[in-house]
Structure 1
Amino acid sequence: MGEDLLFAGLGLVMREAALFAGTGFLLLGTSDLLVDFIWIARTLRRRFTIYRRFERASAATLKPTDRPGRLALFVPAWKESGVIGEMLRSALATFRHDDYRIYVGAYPNDPATIDAVRRVTDARVRLVIGPKPGPTTKADCLNRIWEAMLGDEATEAKPVKAIVLHDAEDVVHSAELILFDSLIDRFALVQLPVLPLIDPGSRWIAGHYADEFAESHAKEMVVREALGAGLPSAGVGCAFARDALAEIAAAGGGAPFDADSLTEDYELGLRLRAMGRRAAFVRLPGERGRPVVMTREYFPCTIKAAVSQKARWMTGIALSGWDRLGWTGGVAERWMRLRDRQSVLAALFLFAAYVALLLWAVLSLRHIFFGAPPEPVAPALAALLAANFVLLGWRVAMRFGFVTHFYGWREGLRSIPRVVIGNIIAMLAARRAVMRYLGTRRSGRVDWDKTVHFFPAALPAE
């Protein structure tokens, strides 16, 4: 009798968890489906109308700017001695531009990073050592670089026209600065695609970033721009107009980057939209017939590092972002902010789904091996699960298509089982994000929770 009650309770929990997860997935899946349809409609319209009348542009065909000005690259660095030297030498050898300076922000208690930067003996590299011991926050480090840039402008009477953000592990494209220089007069923010490098030693963990970025930076960002919603900066491979950052700095006490934010780059893009400034997500090849100009880098290759990084994103965007930015703008803007902030809730739906799946497996085994009656499933729940199964098939097919386009069919096939790995990381990161958010609310302290980075031994082809 007790055993029957136990399994009856498990059956009830299974059905309730399935109902909760299924309802959530239906709502989130419908939102995803709408984004897909907008992207498909936009792609077909441009292919069969615009590109039949006009030649596709490339970085090589853009008109050169007639407004002089230096491009300032900001590279914040805390304990990056293993990558910063190679990154700087690679960037200096790669960029095709006549007037730029790379500012590297470091900390006085990080001598290894300071030494690595100083060993790159090039006048275009400027080391900025902040007054505070590290780590502070990435935004605080960027503000110290901003102050150094202002000092250089005053001393050298050489105006800066754009600030380009990169991380210490980034692989840059040779045409990147040419593209930024040509477009920054028209836009306050120019964001390039970010495409993770495939780590042969971590195809399943680091590889799931490739799946997510292949889809988000080929579809989600395109749809955001098409709808006129705020375009979040990725924090790398992006350029801000100097006057736009100066306006934000004037309103924020002299600092353009909010030192209390975990995701200052994301917030900057939305703040620019609120100011009425234009942003562009640019997917142009360096030359016709070549891949698009993009930023490449290795992403975290262990579960621990991936959870840490994604928890920071969730904390800054989904939790603190709600507090800091609120809900403003039109329908498209609010919809995109909802999509940005649904990650923690989506992780809760995932957890409920896996609980329901586990209990279904247990009850099914009891039915098969011990002859217990099968668990009843209401027709409404069965219809809900069937609808979600169709949405899941569509979602997996879309991801396979985007990953195959950028990485080939083998990685496209790997992206299918990597969905499960991504789900596990998302659930673990959501728990960590909530705990971190609550801790930050109590202490008021925000720390730079960074991960260990690697730079490729051989640079990828452009």
Structure 2
Amino acid sequence: MDASVPWIDGIARETMLFAAVGFLIGGIDDLAIDIAYLFRAIRRWWYRRATPTLADFPVDGCTGRLAVLIPAWDEAPVIGAMLRTTLARFDHPDWRLYVGAYPNDRATIAAIVGVATGDNRVRLALTPRPGPTTKADCLNTLWSAALADGAREGRPFTAMVLHDAEDVVHPGELRVYDHMLAHADTVQLPVLPLADPGSRWVSGHYIDEFAEAHGRQLPVRDALGAELPLAGVGCAISAAMLARIAAHRGGLPFDETSLTEDYELGLTVRALGGRGLFVRALERPGGSPVAVRAYFPATLDTAIRQKARWMTGIALAGWDRIGWQSGGGWRDHWMRMRDRRAILAIPVLAVAYVALLAWGLALLVHLWAGTRPASVDPALQLVLAANLCLLVWRIAMRWTLVRRAYGRDEAWRSIPRMLVGNLVALLAARRAVIRYAGTLRGRPVRWDKTAHHFPNVADLPSV
């Protein structure tokens, strides 16, 4: 036992040093975003820039024709309710729903047809190949159908809006897209996960992450003028820009070999000289934001699968596929590094948990042996103190952002939910690496979707 004590002390010291330095780098990176966010808020207050409301996007001023693209694979339980809700909610003079399905998914086709037969604003488009392929493949089918209808009717669509089969759309979102696309090529609205009473912790941790991502990070990217990735829902792209992207890619705008075609689409727009906007608008002064809402995965397994797809598409395969934008400025490179740091942060997080176990074991061994525990180097103490300060600040920022979007109860839950998010990230990283290794060996990319459920909208407050 005596001979093992120096080994245990050494493992505890080295793992803590590695984790502490890793956390410090990540903490400083997050702090820089926070400073930019606070500077933006102070500047808006100083110049009295009020958050726009739906009154600033009147129906009378809408001149575009919008196609809403909804790809669906194995969505029979939710697609019918989603389509009926969407048809009843949108407040815009000229739009149409294009819903994509696969020829071997008869249940989803039947659910779509059940709605489409009673409303000519719904169009069903079948992919030429059986599913699942990729979401991008389904989106290309929908895009082609919308183009064909526009050409045949002599009234081309001016923009394409992206939604998923589980989304609760906002009544006024099309008005925002229509007006703002006069100033940009893409528009992204906030995404607010719904609080699932049956999954306060697993589904709830998405609340915290999106409150930060769409409450702080995307506004900062927009303010900095950095490239703006799309979330795949609650976003619109001008038809002219999609046509440019299609020409650039040889005929189709959505990359069928990508797991995160929405994310890459936003970066492609920037690479082609286009402009993206993140727009936060309120229903009325002091009211709820115009946002897309949906239930997110409620079980550990489904959350891991979804996060693994994001990690694979953005931080692994995406890094290989799109690399670093040639000629991009420091803002774009910084944001791409932040997008990809998730996979780099996982080893740091894993080593941090090893360090906690090693230090606990070392203390027990020294207590049993009656010896003094090894002292912590003063430099490491300084790094640990800085990390503690950064952690407290991070918790405070998350609490504030979640409280603004969801209220005090969810804000307090966000603190222990950080541990849930860490667990999901650790397990998702393992799945992502395995899946990415499979693609390197030639395994075809497939739509690894999760099961969804659609809420009773009448029971949801402020939706």
Fold conserved (TM > 0.5)? yes
What corresponds to 1:189 in structure 2? 186
Structure 2 letter corresponding to 1:84: I
Q: Where does 1:47-446 land on structure 2 (aligned, <5 Å)?
A: 47-51=45-49, 56-62=51-57, 68-120=63-115, 121-328=118-325, 329-368=328-367, 370-446=369-445
Q: One-letter code of the match for 1:175?
A: G
Correspondent of 1:37 among 23, 35, 38: 35
**2:2 counterpart SS class:** helix
Classify the secondary structure of the residue corresponding to 1:416: coil
- C-alpha distance in structure 2 between counterparts of 1:355 and 1:86, whole Å: 47
Q: Deviations over 1:247-266 (max 9, x none)?
A: 00011121100000000000
Moved more, 247-256 or 230-239: 247-256
Deviation of 1:66 (Å): 6.1
Deviation of the 1:50 alpha carbon? 3.0
Farther-moved stretch of structure 1 (94-103 vs 360-369): 360-369
Bigger shift: residues 280-289 or 337-346: 280-289
Q: CA contact under 8 A between 2:62 and 2:179: conserved in structure 1?
A: no
The answer (yes or no) to whether the contact 1:165–1:239 under 8 Å persists in 2 is yes
2:229 touches 2:262 (CA, 8 Å); kept in 1?
yes
Q: Secondary structure at the match of 2:269?
A: helix
Separation (CA, whole Å) in 2 of partners of 1:89 and 1:160 = 22
One-letter amino acid matched to 1:113: T
Are the equivalent residues in 1 in contact too, given 2:12–2:362 (CA < 8 A)? no
Aligned CA RMSD, in angstroms, stands at 1.4
Aligned-residue offset at 1:402: 0.7
- Number of the residue aligned with 1:18: 16
Q: Per the alignment, in what secondary structure is the counterpart of residue 105 of structure 1?
A: strand
1:71 maps to a residue whose letter is L
Preserved contact between residue 185 and residue 241 of structure 1 (Cα < 8 Å): no
| Structure 1 residues not aligned, in runs of 5+ | none
Q: CA deviation at 1:278?
A: 1.0
Q: Return the offset for 1:130.
A: 1.1
Provide the C-alpha distance between the structure 2 equivalents of 1:178 and 1:212, rounded to a whole number of angstroms.
Answer: 27
SS of the residue 1:280 aligns to:
strand
Judge which range, 380-389 or 4-13, deviates more: 4-13
Q: Name which of structure 1's ranges 5-14 and 439-448 shifts more when overlaid on structure 2.
A: 5-14
1:200 and 1:343 map into 2 onto residues whose CA distance is 28
Cα deviation digits, residues 305-335 of structure 1 (max 9, x gap):
1111111101111111111111121001000
- The one-letter code of the counterpart of 2:153 is E
Distance 2:384 2:209 in 1: 24
Deviation at 1:62, TM superposition (A): 2.8
Q: Distance in 1 between matches of 2:119 and 2:3?
A: 75
Distance in 2 between residues matched to 1:375 and 1:439, nearest whole Å = 44
Shift of 1:155: 1.6
Offset, 1:98: 1.8
CA distance in 1, matches of 2:32, 2:153: 51
The TM-score with structure 2 as length reference comes to 0.96
Q: How far apart are residue 64 of structure 1 and its match?
A: 5.7
Q: Runs of 5+ in structure 2 lacking a partner?
A: none
Quote how far apart the aligned CAs of 1:367 are.
3.5
Alpha-carbon offset, residue 436 of structure 1: 1.0
Indicate the larger mover: 400-409 or 73-82. 400-409
Shift of 1:110: 0.4
> What is the DSSP-based 3-state SS (H/G/I as helix, E as strand, rest coil) of the residue aligned with 1:160?
coil
Distance 2:433 2:100 in 1: 30
Number of residue pairs matched by the alignment: 457
Q: Distance in 1 between matches of 2:76 and 2:407?
A: 33
Q: Cα gap change, 1:66/1:95 in structure 2, threshold over 3 Å: closer, same or farther?
A: closer
Runs of 4+ in 1 over 6 A off after TM superposition: none
Return the letter of the residue paired with 2:77.
G
Distance 2:62 2:415 in 1: 48
CA contact under 8 A between 1:65 and 1:182: conserved in structure 2? no
- CA shift, 1:368, in A, is 4.0
* Conserved 8 A contact 1:84-1:116: yes
Between the aligned partners of 1:196 and 1:67, the Cα distance in structure 2 is 28
In 2, Cα distance between equivalents of 1:197 and 1:63: 27
What is the CA-CA distance between 1:218 and the residue it aligns to? 0.8
Measure the CA separation in 1 of the matches of 2:64 and 2:47. 36
